[in-house]
Structure 1
Amino acid sequence: MSVHVIGAGLSGLAAACQLTELGHHVVVFESANFAGGRARSYFDKHLDCRIDNGNHLILSGNISTLSYLHRIGARRSLIGPNEPIFPFCNIENGENWTLRLNQGSFPWWVFFRSRRVPGTGLMHYKALLKLRSAGKAENIASALGGTVNGPLYHKLLKPLAIAALNTMPEKAAAQPLKTVLSETLERGGYASLPRWARLGLSETFIDPALEWLRARGAEIRLGERVTELTPGQATVLAVPPWVAAELLPGLTVPTEFESICNLHFKYSMDPGEAGFWGLIGGLAEWVFVRNGIVSVTISAANRYLEIDTDVIAQRVWAELAKAFSLSPELPLYRVLWEKRATMVTSPAQITRRPGTRTTNPNVVLAGDWTDTGLPATIEGAIRSGNAAAMALIRPTDDTPEPNQPRRV
């Protein structure tokens, strides 16, 4: 079968790889002159080095992501600590701590004060049980109830929720966070090892996939925009939701979006024990250190859209300098805004996420905005691409739901 994959982001590439491995001829169309979408690297002339257009933390429980990297021969391109550790720094008071999970599935780490979130006791972690029973209409803050006033929420669950869902917890749906936690933290440290791209997003997720596909006869057509679907042609539509709605009139898609702001500072900084930190009490949520670049991510960034980018850079660097005893002089920097980075992960918007199949039996959908059960993450994007490929080649079968990963 010949299949057109429209969109060369991670969901489209995942679908293309799945279909190619199963023996189908794939043609990938991408309107931009590069592949990768929101997960790519490029050379920045101002900083005189390669940077990523965003920061992405992978966990060892992201089975679809690891399977994808194994397929294209790039699994060893990830780096991270040997233990499931998550360092945090409170910008406001200088408090530092490290969440230290144990490798096994039984969470004995919660019995040790030195391993858990400061100020928390065993009873605080019952909040995770509240998320398990959250309904579809509940947001994170309401599902957790009185827990939102405690240290576990402010020091761990809130920054985790903002980063994973790219939506403030007061608005974010609880169910996607429940899925994230059930596949990682609740399975123990073996499923929570933090990983990220050693060289860059393109070098890990994109370039090896393009090389893998081309070596197996797939066609990659960059700079070719598809404005209408070919009748009868098997197609994976792996484009942003607003583009999918144009190509498939009547399709229900998310309509509200959140931005992400990433800042890259050219500065050599001690990477610490893990190579990254979670940040509390400042503008940003996470900071990564590698190759002479300090990269900072501000998620759910619509709240800061009115602030000038230079002002944001100055404020963020002042916070970093204070927290990590860095030079107060602002180094060279680049501020990258992704205005429609993800859908708003609210209860109202997740009801607008379409499934993999469409009313056209020849067209299936892929994208982190489809109904994967996960928030809009790399894991969700890849899982949606896999599900789209299987739905296309098995149009009458009960295709496994995309939020059911297979172990590799």
Structure 2
Amino acid sequence: MKAHVVGAGLAGLGAATALAARGVAVELSEAAAQAGGRCRSYFDPQIGLVIDNGNHLVLSGNQAVHEYLARIGASDRLTGPVETQFPFVDLATQRAWTVRPNAGAVPWWILSPSRGVPGAKFTDFLAMAGLLRAKPGQRVDEAVRCQGPVWERLMRPFLLAALNAEPESAAAELAAQVIRETLARGGAAYAPRVPSPGLSATFVNPALDYLEARGGTLRLQRRLLKLRTDGERVTGLEFSDGLVEVAARDRIILAVPPWVAKDLAPQLTTPERFEGIVNGHFRVRTGDGSARIIGVLNGTVEWIFCFEDRISVTVSGANRLMSTGREDLARQFWADVSLALDLGPDLPPWQIIKERRATFLATADQQARRPAARTAYTNLVLAGDWTATGLPATIEGALRSGARAAGLVQEAFA
């Protein structure tokens, strides 16, 4: 009795560790030379530092994240401010402010000039409540008016980061679920948290150690080429290193990108449009090692992450930047960083990372194409942030999907 988990991104790692915790024998296969998928760290010789392939922000209320980190013994590897706060700077006006919500669910902070959004009135916040009544198939701009200080100075940058899509045209039901699980629950649910010292040290390496300690096996550079089936169940897995027969009681979790899943199982309906993310990294010493996160308006850069040894920036909804040269992007990004943080104009050592298919496009039509975890095959389930998690493509969604897939597999073993 064994669980074959194909794909060692966070969805696969979440599923594999959840099964190992229940005493299930796990074999984890990954096509790449390292685990982690889009959530990993590596040493970059151009910048001379260990950097993350992308900047991934999690929030204090991300329950699946906290359950996963507790399982693998890495709960102490998220850092962030004790009090929920989001500094912003508008590059067009050079105005800076900090949104500081109170911890409880009653949002009295919106009435405080020193804690809220500049120029916002109570009615501006109240207007955003329309998102919570959004219906499936609606765009965000069909559920609320996308204008005014609360939209422009808080909701738009927040949703752009969460959805990785232009918020106005994104699926309103996804935006609504993000708000229900964060903003609507009070400041204690959305304090920003950053993996420290990096993605691999937080999410990947402890998971691999956890699996090894429980008898799990990891096989890297092992690509799944084909599913052999008898019409009802998967009977064999054709990997690049040979065929694996699937025993009657074995179960398979397919935790691969949607385009790979579609190639392996053409009958699946999966998202087919994607959006990119661009990250920039600059070798600059910034202080005491505690990460600071700054939102940027009216620039190319949208979020700045200040670490002890580097500054990293993120641009979401970045398909428009994919054809721009890397050095041109580095100079654009550094111009924004320099202006936002009052640094010198000289470009420090840099690296630009483009994720061309970072997430599925979070529009209503693509949301409708997200499949459930169960498939037509009795012994095959899906995991991934692109499956029907109810959330956008986030770390929380990936880990939630892994836990769901592990639960379905455990039911079969019961």
Asked if these proteins are the same fold (TM beyond 0.5), I'd say yes
2:5 is matched with which residue? Answer: 5
Q: For 2:289 and 2:83, locate their aligned partners in 1 and report how far apart those are by CA, in whole Å.
A: 14
Q: Are 2:114 and 1:114 aligned?
A: yes
User: AA paired with 2:404?
Assistant: A
2:71 is matched with which residue? Answer: 71
SS at match of 1:149: coil
- TM-score normalized by structure 1? 0.94
1:328 is matched with which residue? Answer: 345
Q: Are 2:222 and 1:205 aligned?
A: no
2:182 is matched with which residue? Answer: 184
Q: For 2:27 and 2:59, locate their aligned partners in 1 and report how far apart those are by CA, in whole Å.
A: 31
What count of residue pairs does the alignment treat as equivalent? 395
| Structure 1 segments (4+ residues) deviating >6 Å | 271-274
1:60 is matched with which residue? Answer: 60
Q: Are 2:332 and 1:285 aligned?
A: no
Matches within 5 A, 1:297-336: 297-336=314-353
What's the CA shift string for 1:93-125, capped at 9, x where partnerless?
A: 111010001112211111211111111011111
User: AA paired with 2:143?
Assistant: A
2:266 aligns with one of 245, 249, 253 = 249
The structural deviation recorded for 1:142 is: 2.2
Judged with a 3 Å threshold, the aligned counterparts in structure 2 of structure 1 residues 43 and 396 are, in CA distance, closer, same or farther, namely closer
The structural deviation recorded for 1:395 is: 5.0
Deviates more, 1:22-31 or 1:120-129: 120-129
Matches within 5 A, 1:322-361: 322-361=339-378
The structural deviation recorded for 1:274 is: 6.4
The structural deviation recorded for 1:183 is: 0.8
1:405 is matched with which residue? Answer: none
2:238 is matched with which residue? Answer: none
Q: Are 2:391 and 1:374 aligned?
A: yes
User: AA paired with 1:279?
Assistant: V
Q: For 2:312 and 2:175, locate their aligned partners in 1 and report how far apart those are by CA, in whole Å.
A: 24
User: AA paired with 1:32?
Assistant: A
1:31 is matched with which residue? Answer: 31
Instruction: Report if the CA contact (8 A) 2:291-2:306 is conserved.
Output: no
The structural deviation recorded for 1:391 is: 1.4
Q: For 1:269 and 1:88, locate their aligned partners in 2 and report how far apart those are by CA, in whole Å.
A: 18
SS at match of 2:335: helix
SS at match of 1:157: helix
Matches within 5 A, 1:80-229: 80-145=80-145, 148-229=146-227
Q: Are 2:15 and 1:15 aligned?
A: yes
SS at match of 1:39: coil
Q: For 2:210 and 2:54, locate their aligned partners in 1 and report how far apart those are by CA, in whole Å.
A: 24
Instruction: Report if the CA contact (8 A) 2:164-2:317 is conserved.
Output: yes
Judged with a 3 Å threshold, the aligned counterparts in structure 2 of structure 1 residues 278 and 150 are, in CA distance, closer, same or farther, namely same
SS at match of 1:228: strand
Deviates more, 1:186-195 or 1:367-376: 186-195
Q: For 1:115 and 1:160, locate their aligned partners in 2 and report how far apart those are by CA, in whole Å.
A: 17
Q: Which runs of 5+ in 2 are unaligned?
A: 228-233, 236-247
User: AA paired with 2:293?
Assistant: F
SS at match of 1:227: strand
Q: For 1:30 and 1:339, locate their aligned partners in 2 and report how far apart those are by CA, in whole Å.
A: 20
Q: For 1:320 and 1:185, locate their aligned partners in 2 and report how far apart those are by CA, in whole Å.
A: 27
Instruction: Report if the CA contact (8 A) 1:271-1:289 is conserved.
Output: no
The structural deviation recorded for 1:36 is: 0.1
- TM-score normalized by structure 2? 0.93
Q: Identity over aligned residues, as a percent?
A: 45
Q: For 2:89 and 2:74, locate their aligned partners in 1 and report how far apart those are by CA, in whole Å.
A: 32
SS at match of 1:56: coil
The structural deviation recorded for 1:270 is: 4.9
1:402 is matched with which residue? Answer: none
Deviates more, 1:122-131 or 1:82-91: 122-131
Q: For 1:153 and 1:19, locate their aligned partners in 2 and report how far apart those are by CA, in whole Å.
A: 42
Q: For 2:39 and 2:407, locate their aligned partners in 1 and report how far apart those are by CA, in whole Å.
A: 24
Q: For 1:162 and 1:24, locate their aligned partners in 2 and report how far apart those are by CA, in whole Å.
A: 39
Q: For 1:396 and 1:186, locate their aligned partners in 2 and report how far apart those are by CA, in whole Å.
A: 38
Q: For 1:138 and 1:199, locate their aligned partners in 2 and report how far apart those are by CA, in whole Å.
A: 39
The structural deviation recorded for 1:32 is: 0.5
Judged with a 3 Å threshold, the aligned counterparts in structure 2 of structure 1 residues 266 and 127 are, in CA distance, closer, same or farther, namely same
Instruction: Report if the CA contact (8 A) 1:29-1:222 is conserved.
Output: yes
The structural deviation recorded for 1:16 is: 0.4
Q: For 2:306 and 2:141, locate their aligned partners in 1 and report how far apart those are by CA, in whole Å.
A: 31
Q: For 2:138 and 2:323, locate their aligned partners in 1 and report how far apart those are by CA, in whole Å.
A: 29
Q: For 1:119 and 1:274, locate their aligned partners in 2 and report how far apart those are by CA, in whole Å.
A: 28
Judged with a 3 Å threshold, the aligned counterparts in structure 2 of structure 1 residues 271 and 115 are, in CA distance, closer, same or farther, namely farther
User: AA paired with 2:210?
Assistant: W
What's the CA shift string for 1:338-394, capped at 9, x where partnerless?
A: 100000000000000000100001000000000000000000000000001111222
Q: For 2:409 and 2:269, locate their aligned partners in 1 and report how far apart those are by CA, in whole Å.
A: 20
SS at match of 1:371: coil
Q: For 1:77 and 1:280, locate their aligned partners in 2 and report how far apart those are by CA, in whole Å.
A: 29
Q: For 2:219 and 2:195, locate their aligned partners in 1 and report how far apart those are by CA, in whole Å.
A: 25
Instruction: Report if the CA contact (8 A) 1:265-1:294 is conserved.
Output: yes
User: AA paired with 1:203?
Assistant: A
